[in-house]
Amino acid sequence: MLNNNYNPDVLSCIANLSSDEVFTPPELVNQMLDLLPQELFRDKSSTFLDPACKSGVFLREIAKRLDIGLEAQIPNRQKRIDHIFTKQLFGLAITELTSLLSRRSLYCSKTANGKYSVCTKFKNEYGNIHFERIEHAWEKGRCLFCGANQGNYARGDDLESHAYSFIHIENPEELFKMKFDVIIGNPPYQLSDGGAGASAIPLYHKFIIQAMKMNPRYITMIIPSRWFAGGRGLDEFRKQMQSDKRIQIIVDFPKSRDCFPGVDIAGGVNYFLWDKDYNGSCEFTSYVNGVSYTKSRFLDEHDIIIRDNVGINVISKVLSKKEAMMSDKVLSVSPFGLRSFVRGKDEYFEDSLTLISSSGKSYINRDMVNKNIDKIEHFKVCVGYLNPDRAGVNNAADGMMNVTTKQKILNPREVVTETYIIPFSSENRVLVENCANYLRTKFTRFLVSLTLTSMHITQRNYSFVPIQDFNSLWSDKELYGKYGLSESEIDYIESMIRPMELADA
């Protein structure tokens, strides 16, 4: 920050960071800082905490603003820099490596009192960027604070414990024993829980809950948007955020690459401003294919947070009809109680059922089915459990979505593994065919898309899809007319959702 040409090599630090540590571009940091009252950067008593330092970019960009904002009050630049670094900026690094990287970014030296440090007042090596390795608090194989799996994270001293200090303490204010005006950052998103595949537990909401305990004037963080619909470990957090009228602004990116270039996060990301003294509606902005849509609304108007500001108007028109929703018809996850790995015999045998799995058809005994036995003899609409757009991760060049896989119609005595869901079934094939046609409409898939914050399609994703009279065929034109959609709403849906045909049997 002073006229110092020292340029530390940080590549070795970056190369060793774990996959949950998403770095924040300076441009994005400044967009978040723009949400704050700018007089904070002209106040020499204002204080800032980043509880999850990785690159130090939040504190560095705040320092730049304070350097300009305090020039009239503290004309001597060295004194101004010393004041800013010792009295106003504080951080908690998430690993030892990120502590070194953050100090280099902020102080221009991996040690706060080092030869190249731009601050002359620190007597210790860490300055105001703290890192202290701590261990998880194990009970019955899980950490009491973060839920980490003991088998994965009870490590030796040569590996990071990933027991982040900010969320491994009952009273976070004890860490600095001071009040902060602003708590800001990009916390770790998740932690592997030792389950199958990429199974992980969310962490980011714990940082927000801890920040609120400290009662700052403002909180602004960037986090995954999966909390909009709740899910694993997030339902209570979603309800808390929805009812909190201090959330003044949310800026949402359904496609994470629109926010983090080159980074794919299923369900996208958002940043928000929480203002202790605010009490009102939230200014919600969503970026769709590079275009921003902003609407002032209350977050608790629906059970989940609808992120699409055009879509929320469409939902209002749908709900005004007071019709039952398809979520009442959708069979729950694993509709016949058959796990994704279940396979039957290659050849048909007497009284066998046909099993549809990701690897094709096989044949199983009827007694293997332990759920929805009464649906076995029905015709059924079948849809893949995974969202083919990977919740915005595919970043299609045309910006359009399929939302669901192609619908298949299953015959009686055909069942599926948990790789699929069953939105509708009936003994009447005509009703099932007409429902399958309805579920292929752009209108219906658009309504499903409004609830997606992960790669999974579940019963909940049909919460705003109304049940129709399936004795008739339904087209998009008829549905647009029935629900009174405007030309601009129709154009919006048509620009987002691809046409879809029925899948091969």
Per-residue pLDDT, 332: 78
- Of 309, 340, 374, the one marking the end of a domain is 309
Residue 65 and residue 164 share a domain = yes
- What HEC string does 35-66 produce? CCCHHHHHCCCCCEEEEEECCCHHHHHHHHHH
Per-residue pLDDT, 16: 35
Residue 129 tokens read as 């960027």
| Domain-embedded: residue 5 | no
Residue 242 and residue 383 share a domain = no
Res. 7: pLDDT tops 80: no
| Domain-embedded: residue 45 | yes
Residue 343 and residue 299 share a domain = no
Residue 206 and residue 117 share a domain = yes
Res. 282: pLDDT tops 90: yes
| Domain-embedded: residue 152 | yes
What integer is the mean pLDDT of 261-286? 94
Residue 166 and residue 53 share a domain = yes
Res. 239: pLDDT tops 50: yes
CA distances from 303 to 72, 192, 206, 236, 299 (A): 50, 28, 21, 12, 9
Residue 352 and residue 229 share a domain = no
| Domain-embedded: residue 377 | yes
Which pTM value belongs to this model? 0.89
Banded model confidence at residue 6, pLDDT cuts 50, 70, 90? very low
In this structure, the number of other CB atoms found within 10 A of the CB of residue 278 comes to 16
Residue 234 and residue 349 share a domain = no
What integer is the mean pLDDT of 68-76? 97
Task: Kindly report the CATH number assigned to the domain that includes residue 377.
Answer: 3.90.220
**Nearest to 440, CA basis, from 391, 484, 387, 404:** 404
| Domain-embedded: residue 4 | no
Residue 255 and residue 374 share a domain = no
Task: Kindly report the CATH number assigned to the domain that includes residue 203.
Answer: 3.40.50.150
Residue 485 and residue 400 share a domain = yes
What integer is the mean pLDDT of 206-217? 96
Residue 417 and residue 286 share a domain = no
| Domain-embedded: residue 197 | yes
Rounded Cα distance, 271 and 13, in Å: 26
- Of 278, 309, 340, the one marking the end of a domain is 309
Count of domains for the chain: 2
pLDDT tens string 375-413: 999 999 999 999 988 888 877 888 899 999 999 999 999
Q: Which residues contact 74 (CB under 8 A, 6 or more apart)?
A: 44, 80, 83
Res. 12: pLDDT tops 80: no
Q: Mean pLDDT across the chain, nearest whole number?
A: 91
Residue 210 and residue 258 share a domain = yes
Residue 303 and residue 353 share a domain = no
Quote the domain boundaries for residue 372: 322-496
